[in-house]
Amino acid sequence: MRKIATLLLSAGLVASATTAIASSPKEDLEKFRAYFEQKFPGLQLDDFGNGAYALDADKRMQWEAMEEFPPYDEFVDKGREIWEKPFKNGKSFADCFGKDPSKVRVRYPHWDAKTKQVVTLEGDINKCLKENGEKPFKWKKGPIAWLSAFFGYEARGQKINVVIPDDPDAIKAYEHGKHFFYAKRGQLNMACADCHVKYPGHFIRGNLLSPALGQVTHFPVYRAKWAKKSKDGDGLGTLHRRYGGCNKQVRARPFKAQSKVYRDLEFFHQYMSNGLTINAPGYRE
């Protein structure tokens, strides 16, 4: 009897080891969400969009006070100005993204079957500028983050809805991002998943680690840490700016914002938060 059980068990182990690699995005998403819901049984799905603040009452109170007069408002307004200002050729961002700015954020990131790559919102902002003879923005902060934050703000209340098409190249990009997320890297030997899957809700020094589920809903993010570093209190930064910061902290060489690696990571990372409500931009420490 025991022998049979052992046999079954080892067969199961082998099976799970192989299926873990061959699982579909949909299966990954179900397991991912179930894991976090089990880990934090008191939370509703959308609570995860509030990150660490959903997990700690004291921090949540301070945060809610900040969100009453949010320091990112003036930068969202700057984003709106950029949206409204025509290019030198008379056209504007509306010619690239459509007239309704509230319908932009939910289309990203997406797979582009023609170029066989992941297209991000920031990528298309600069593409639009270039196609209209304008100088592209810098990738991580400033105007690109303002405009992206404006699109996020306009899309508040809508749900993340990333589509991974049944195209081997799209699956490959998704798998690449997924692998990046779970692989240990850098001199400190840490994976994204070490902090944000295994230990969310724990403190690392004075910082409460956020769950990976729901991280993308509030990006671009306004970080007090970034505001302090800037001259004019602009703490807004893009998702890829944050990726770079995380990689640097584990002493891995960060990749460039909008590199293939980070676009693929974003594809996986955003997909894992499908169904969560967009609440960008968010305020974070």
Partner 1 sequence: MRRSNHRFSGTVGSLLLVAGMVITGQAAAAEDPISAGKKLAFDRKKGNCLACHHIEGGTLMGNIAPPLVAMKHRFPDKAKLREQIWDATKNNPRSIMPPFGKHRILSEKEIDLVTEFIYSL
Partner 2 sequence: MMKKTIISVGLALLIAGCSASQPEKPMSLKEQYEAALARTQAAVEKAASMEGEWRDIRWKKSKKRYLPKAIEAAKAGDYEKALKLLSIAEFQAEMGYKQAMAEKNAGPHLYGL
Site for partner 2 in 18-37 (CB under 8 A): 20-21, 23, 28, 31-32, 34-35
245 touches partner 2 by CB under 8 A: no
Q: Which does 252 bind (CB under 5 to 8 A by kind): partner 2, partner 1, none?
A: partner 2
Cβ proximity to partner 1: between 121 and 250 the closer is: 250
Tell me, residue by residue from 95 to 134, as one string, x for binding to partner 2 by CB under 8 A and - for no binding: ----------------------------------------
Token pair recorded at residue 197: 């899957």
Instruction: Please indicate whether residue 192 is annotated as part of the active site.
Output: no
In DSSP terms, 118 is beta-bridged to 111
204 contact choice in partner 2, partner 1, none (CB below 5 to 8 Å, kind-dependent): partner 1
CB of 210 to partner 2, least distance (A): 16
In a 3-state reduction of DSSP, which class is residue 234?
A: coil
Answer with the entry of partner 1, partner 2, none that 66 interacts with (C-beta below 5 to 8 A by kind): none
One-letter amino acid identity for 254?
P
Find residue 193's DSSP bridge partners. none
**Torsion, Cα of 138, 140, 143, 148 (10° steps):** 130
Q: At residue 51, what is the residue type?
A: G
| SS3 category, 112 | strand
Q: How far is the CB of 254 from partner 1 (least distance, A)?
A: 18
**Cβ–Cβ under 8 Å, residues 165 and 114:** no
Residues 182-211: x/- map of binding to partner 1 (CB under 8 A)? -----xxxx---xx--xx--xxxxx-----
- Nearest Cα neighbor of 192 from 246, 255, 132, 266 is 246
Which letter does DSSP use for residue 186 in this model? T
- Show the CA angle centred on residue 41, arms to residues 37 and 44, nearest 5°: 70
Catalytic residues: 246
Binding site for partner 2 (CB under 8 A): 16-17, 20-21, 23, 28, 31-32, 34-35, 178-180, 182-187, 189, 191, 193, 197-198, 247-248, 251-255, 261
